[in-house]
């Protein structure tokens, strides 16, 4: 847990704000590079007028919490989970160990790791009624809609999850959600394919088991190519957390009402579904397919500059440099294409990236490839349909959502999320009943 530092006595670590409406001056302490919005709320013209609020659509410059889970330096392209650089974790760790690190805040001992893997391996099954529930979706239901609904439905199978103040209960729900997300994700895929649902195989590792539930047919035992298992495991690591992104903000906001973690994570799945967030990897593939060939790239780029198109997979709220995950993913793409053969869309993507990195429109707006630009190409090489790409993102992001939720419910500074607004509507209108209005 991060301790709340006392406001500094150092006069230099403060703002002196002069309210020209009243001539009053206020000293506003600066702590960790931020001021308390509550201090601005004290600036008012009289007792009957509300204090100064901060207007910040999309929370572009608003800190909602103190967190020790993930550190990002957007200018330098740095990403660290619990202080460990993403490059080292991607190269030397594995997804379940990174799960443990994010949730517990430190790397596991061998015994802790073995127990963690055992617990997750033996919680991959879901209640048979969940399967029946999922079979009720239309044949062409989007897997993300199925995943969002199924995660929320788990809250009805584990009603004790509402007891969020009990550490052992929290641990159990976290293990269940990490363990069951691949099962729900794979079954959403099988449903869309019209194939029978495959049950977890507890003799396989976490990522290999996910591939088995996705692709196993009549063979006795699913055999995944180790290079594909490794590449997918790295992709899960790269997606595991990303500080206060849109979906994590949703998990924290819904979680701030003290609802169970399944309902909070279902909200995160919903936020991730959007094309500006996790849905971007699916949108990248659709964009590349629409471009169709390298010859069409210049006219597409013109469309972006005219505001008629967005270059999906480019740009980021925080990274104003290359997304460090994109670099690592490019390497994984080479490993995957070794097995699957290259992807014709990759040639278009590489040419698009080359042009964009040299074009002032993108350079001036600091628009670089983000994690979604290449992940979609790898998922395509795995022969996932684009609708599944964001489900893969959600499986990777689950430990991050849960680590952030866990931090939220233990943070004594946190309270229910309820922002202010700037009201722009009518006031004090006289209501005329319909019988008179419609004469």
Residues within the interface to ligand SDX (CB under 6 A): 242, 245-246, 276-278, 280, 304, 310-318, 365, 367, 370-372
Q: Which is nearer to ligand SDX, 175 or 264 (CB)?
A: 264
- 139: how many CB neighbours lie within 10 A of its CB? 8
- For residue 317, the minimal CB distance to ligand SDX (Å) is 4
Say what the alpha-carbon torsion angle 405, 406, 411, 415 is, to the nearest 10 degrees. 30
Shortest separation between residue 315's beta carbon and ligand SDX, angstroms: 2
Q: 39, 241, 260, 372: which is the annotated catalytic residue?
A: 372
Nearest approach in angstroms of CB 373 to ligand SDX is: 7
CB of 426 to ligand SDX, least distance (A): 30
Q: Which of 191, 242, 316, 323 is catalytic?
A: 316
User: Residue 405 CB, nearest distance to ligand SDX (Å)?
Assistant: 15
CB of 283: closest distance to ligand SDX in angstroms? Answer: 7
Q: Which residue is nearest to ligand SDX (CB)?
A: 315
Neighbours of 84 (CB within 10 A): 16
Give the nearer residue to ligand SDX in terms of CB position, either 224 or 371.
371
Q: Which is nearer to ligand SDX, 134 or 367 (CB)?
A: 367
Query: Is 127 in the active site?
Result: no
Nearer to ligand SDX, 79 or 336 (CB): 79
Residue closer to ligand SDX, measured from CB, 215 or 273: 273
Nearer to ligand SDX, 134 or 301 (CB): 301
Distance CA 380, CA 309 (A): 22
Cα separation, 92 vs 88, in Å, equals 6
For residue 175, which of 104, 255, 94, 88 has the smallest C-alpha distance? 104
Quote the least distance from Cβ 397 to ligand SDX, whole Å: 7
> Is the distance from CB of 379 to CB of 281 less than 8 angstroms?
yes
Candidate list 277, 335, 359, 411, residue with the active-site label:
277
> Catalytic residue at 372?
yes
* Cα–Cα distance, 390 to 370 (Å, whole number): 14
Nearer to ligand SDX, 121 or 370 (CB): 370
Give CA torsion, residues 386, 143, 125, 229, to 10 deg: 10
Q: How far is the CB of 314 from ligand SDX (least distance, A)?
A: 4
Using the minimum distance from each CB to ligand SDX, give the nearer residue, 99 or 370: 370
In the structure encoding, which two tokens stand for residue 236, read together? Answer: 């899960």
Active site residues: 277, 316, 372
């Amino acid at each position: 847990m991060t301790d709340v530092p006392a406001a500094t006595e150092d006069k230099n670590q403060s703002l002196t704000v002069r309210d020209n409406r009243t001539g009053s001056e206020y000293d506003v302490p600066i702590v960790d590079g931020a001021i308390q919005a509550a201090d601005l709320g004290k600036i008012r013209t009289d007792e009957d007028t509300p204090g100064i609020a901060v207007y910040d659509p999309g929370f572009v410059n608003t800190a909602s919490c103190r967190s020790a889970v993930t550190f990002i330096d957007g200018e330098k392209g740095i990403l660290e989970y619990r202080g460990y650089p993403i490059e080292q974790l991607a190269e030397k760790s594995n997804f379940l160990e990174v799960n443990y690190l994010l949730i517990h805040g430190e790397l596991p001992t061998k015994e802790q790791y073995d127990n963690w893997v055992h617990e997750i391996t033996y919680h991959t099954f879901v209640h048979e009624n969940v399967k029946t529930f999922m079979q009720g979706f239309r044949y062409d239901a989007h897997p993300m809609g199925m995943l969002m609904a199924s995660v929320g439905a788990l809250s009805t199978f584990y009603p004790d999850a509402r007891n969020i103040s009990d550490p052992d209960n929290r641990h159990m729900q976290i293990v269940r959600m990490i363990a069951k997300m691949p099962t729900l994700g794979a079954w959403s895929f099988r449903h869309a394919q019209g194939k029978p649902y495959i049950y977890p195989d507890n003799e396989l590792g976490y990522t290999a088991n996910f591939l088995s539930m996705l692709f196993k047919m009549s063979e006795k035992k699913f055999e995944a190519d180790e290079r594909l298992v490794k590449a997918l495991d790295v992709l899960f690591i790269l997606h595991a957390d990303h500080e206060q992104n849109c979906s994590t903000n949703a998990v924290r906001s819904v979680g701030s009402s003290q609802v169970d973690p399944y309902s909070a994570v279902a909200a995160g799945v919903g936020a991730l579904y959007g094309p500006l967030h996790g849905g971007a990897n699916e949108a990248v593939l659709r964009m590349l397919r629409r471009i169709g060939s390298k010859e069409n790239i210049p006219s597409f780029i013109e469309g972006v500059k005219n505001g008629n198109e967005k270059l999906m997979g480019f740009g980021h709220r925080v990274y104003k440099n290359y997304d460090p995950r994109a670099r690592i993913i490019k390497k994984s793409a080479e490993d995957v294409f070794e097995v699957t053969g290259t992807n014709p869309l990759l040639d278009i993507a590489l040419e698009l990236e080359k042009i964009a990195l040299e074009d002032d429109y993108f350079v001036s707006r600091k628009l670089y490839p983000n994690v979604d630009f290449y992940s979609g190409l790898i998922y395509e090489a795995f022969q996932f349909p684009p609708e599944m790409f964001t489900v893969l993102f959600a499986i990777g992001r689950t430990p991050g959502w849960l680590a952030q939720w866990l931090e939220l419910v233990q943070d004594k500074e946190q309270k229910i999320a309820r922002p202010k607004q700037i009201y722009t509507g009518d006031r004090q209108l006289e209501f005329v009943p319909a019988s008179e209005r419609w004469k």
